[in-house]
Amino acid sequence: MYVASPATNGFKLCRTMGSHALSATQQNSLSKRLPTFQQDAPQFITAIPTDPASPWTKDTFIHLFDSLVHEDDVSEPEFRNILLFCGSAEGSIELPKSLEQHIHRLGLQYHVVEVNDDSHRKRDSGDMADVAIPGGAYLWANRRLQPVFRLYEDKQSCLVHYLLRPAGERQHKQLQLTGRNVQSFYAAVPSRIPDLVKSQSSKPFAGKRVLVKDVFDIHGIRTTLCDRAYYDMSSPAPETAPAIQMLIDQGAELVGTTKLSSMISWEEPSECMDYSAPFNPRGDNYQSPAGSSSGSAAAVAAYEWLDYAIGTDSTGSCRRPAMVNGCFAIRISKGKLPSEGMAPCFPLFDTPAVFARDISDLSFFVKHWGLDSLEECRQHPSSIILPLEYIDAIRSRHQRAILDTLVDDLHECTKIDVHRISLQALWDSNPPAEAGGQSLHEFLQDVGPHAFFFDFYHSTDQFRQNYFDKHHASPPVNRMTAYRWDMGSRITAQQRHHAGRRLEIYKTWLLSRLLCGENPIVVLPIMDAEPNYRDDQVCGLPTVQEAWDQLWLSPVLGSPEVTVPIGQIPYMSKKTGAEEVLPVAVSIMGLPGTDCSLVASVETMLRQSGRPLRVASGRQMFVEDWEVV
């Protein structure tokens, strides 16, 4: 029925029906309470938490069992031959006769395990454990009950750390199980069925599988930033970053950390010197995944077994990957979530981001990640703003046509006025008093590089010093990081102060002149949709973003920005020799702090205009036989 072999860290590798599973050793007193159980024969079982005050009925059990059969990718037929109804609280459990008869007709065995006073144990925090035996699939072997996790191969090379947290434990453990591909590893995931853990079912993220960009502290795990020198100097995190701990406390299952551009910098795949870039699943599978949150976006676009991935955004770190990997995403308003335990890139702009395949799922996630507040604007969008400089810069006529059609659809279905505005003309007609007659570009000249490079360089002062003290050398880094450090070291504190002051003036002007009105939204292109192969060589000097760049608009304002896949552009792949498609996406920006209402408004507008609310995983975002809503 299974194959088990010893593994490190108390894990065993099993194989059932051709699928791989992982079991984690867990001590318990089950053998003392089940005298009829075949204790010496290894067997798979399913534990079902049962409230003595409200036990399962035949109807509720049928619903649960149907979910196990048709929805749960962890549960296999072998696991369901033996059922354990485990008490979730003290008290006697009496199953209805109709349920017992139904289980008998299915040809299944079942046992009842009641909670005794000594079956609870204290957690580190001092709280009582929720259940004596958490629900889910288990392997019974060597008189121990071992939780079972489903293994999925990370074929797109999106992950850095592969993690799981055995039931009842607070700290994640790290896995290193090689996949069928010699360069890939397995990720281990628990059941998605929240009813299997009744104490968790009231938590919004119960059963949701989440990956986290490897810039966040995870208790007991060393952060890499996808840089070997940084990893060499890092130590196990003493606690999990508060923003991520919020998700875990709400029931989310953290299954790993994701790759990124080295040192949270710009890095194309051909420039990767320490960790190989993730594989973008779209098109021919050989397009750049962009960065820096490349692993998070690529994983969401590639893996149906994954629900969400967390990234970050500074000056495009989530929006560019969301577009080229073809998924929904949101850059969270600056300051809405705690930044402690998140490695800095540009602290003035740094903020968490979320990736998902479904706009409804994204809306749900944002609402329950502590972002919903009474102060948030609840009005529908009052106007749609199109900054002409950014729209007119799109080189592809096909991409421009897709964007124009989106705007026309939104206007037609919502009757919201569309305002096409030139930022330069608006500045010329209504400049801030501090402009002193300068044009927008003159006023912002060098403001972006002076602020960004200075902060990027000095945010790693301690790391560089620690590395030098240990190795008597500078840490090896990629071309872009070295360039940014060199530029940052040349910028004075006075230049940084001057740049910061001008960014504040620009922000105030944008809020008073561009985003005037009750609740305007801004539609923005992200980048040109064009082939960018993994092995394309990067030539010339690194790109320098100026403060007037469209990717700086929401960071300057501290605003939320939702990335929305809206179409696909065909291209002839030089890798496959066949016609493939590239994703096209836009970003929709709202006022600062309106994260929940912005995502909800985007969902409503997509639904009303008959546009797709979700994307598929794999080579194409949209397939012809999908329902639109």
Tell me the pLDDT tens digit for each residue of 522-572. 999 999 999 999 999 998 878 889 999 999 999 999 999 999 999 999 999
Q: In sequence order, what are the residues at sequence separation of 6 or more whose Cβ sits closer than 8 angstroms to the Cβ of residue 442?
A: none
Q: What is the pLDDT of residue 88?
A: 81
Report pTM: 0.93
pLDDT band with cut points at 50, 70 and 90 for residue 197: low
Q: Which two tokens stand for residue 209?
A: 């599988």
> Highest-confidence range of 21-30, 63-72, 182-191, 565-574, by mean pLDDT?
565-574
Task: Specify the pLDDT at position 2.
Answer: 27
Cα(213)–Cα(199) distance, integer angstroms: 28
Q: Band of the pLDDT at 513, cuts 50, 70, 90?
A: very high
Both structure tokens of 620: 């194409």
Sequence letter at residue 358:
D
Q: Is residue 465 part of a domain?
A: no
Amino acid identity of residue 202, one-letter, is S
Residue 40's pLDDT band (cuts 50, 70, 90) = low
Residue 439 domain-assigned (yes or no): no
Burial level of 58, CB count in 10 A (0-12/13-18/19+)?
Answer: middle
Q: Which two tokens stand for residue 310?
A: 């967390």
pLDDT of residue 16: 54
**Residue 565 domain-assigned (yes or no):** no
Residue 428 domain-assigned?
no
**What is the pLDDT at residue 392?**
96
- Confidence (pLDDT) at 167: 63
Most confident of 109-113, 499-503, 539-543: 499-503
- Of 42-56, 158-172, 223-237, least confident by mean pLDDT is 158-172
What letters, b where the CB count within 10 A reaches 16 and e where it falls short, cover 361-393? Answer: bbbbbbbbbebeeeebbeeebebbbbbeebbee
Lowest mean pLDDT among 86-95, 119-128, 270-279, 559-568: 119-128
pLDDT in tens, 332-345: 999 999 999 999 99
CA dihedral 515, 517, 521, 524 (to 10 degrees): -30
Residue 71 lies in a domain: yes
Per-residue model confidence (pLDDT) at position 140? 85
User: Is the predicted pLDDT of residue 288 greater than 50, yes or no?
Assistant: yes
Write out the residue range of the structural domain in which residue 83 sits.
1-150
1 or 30, higher pLDDT: 30
Q: How confident is the model at residue 226 (pLDDT cuts 50, 70, 90)?
A: very high
Q: What percent of the chain has pLDDT above 90?
A: 74
Q: Which two tokens stand for residue 311?
A: 């990234």
Q: Cβ–Cβ contacts within 10 Å for residue 243, how many?
A: 23
How many CB atoms are closer than 10 A to CB 18?
6
Asked if residue 522 belongs to a domain, the reply is: no
Look at 21-25, 44-48, 422-426 and tell me which has the smallest mean pLDDT. 21-25
Residue 146 to residues 46, 50, 179: CA-CA distances in angstroms? Answer: 11, 19, 22
Task: Tell me, yes or no, whether 570 lies in a domain.
Answer: no
Supply the DSSP string of 102-150, one letter for each residue: HHHHTT-EEEEEEE-GGG--B-TTSPBPS-SS-SEEEEEETTEEEEEEE
Which tens digits make up the pLDDT trace of 262-272?
Answer: 999 999 999 99
In one-letter notation, the amino acid at residue 609 is S
HEC string of 169-191? CCCCEEECCECCCCCCEEEEECC
Over residues 31-41, the mean pLDDT reads 54
The whole-number pLDDT of residue 15 equals: 56
Residues 124-167 have pLDDT tens digits of 333 333 346 788 888 888 777 888 899 999 999 999 999 988 76
Chain length of the chain: 629
Q: How many domains does the chain have?
A: 1
Residue with more model confidence, 545 or 32: 545
Structure token pair of residue 406? 């989106």
In a domain, 446, yes or no: no
Instruction: Name the average pLDDT for the chain.
Output: 89
Q: What percent of the chain has pLDDT over 70?
A: 87
Cα(99)–Cα(110) distance, rounded to whole angstroms? 11
Distances (CA, A) of 147 to 92, 206, 309, 607: 25, 17, 24, 41
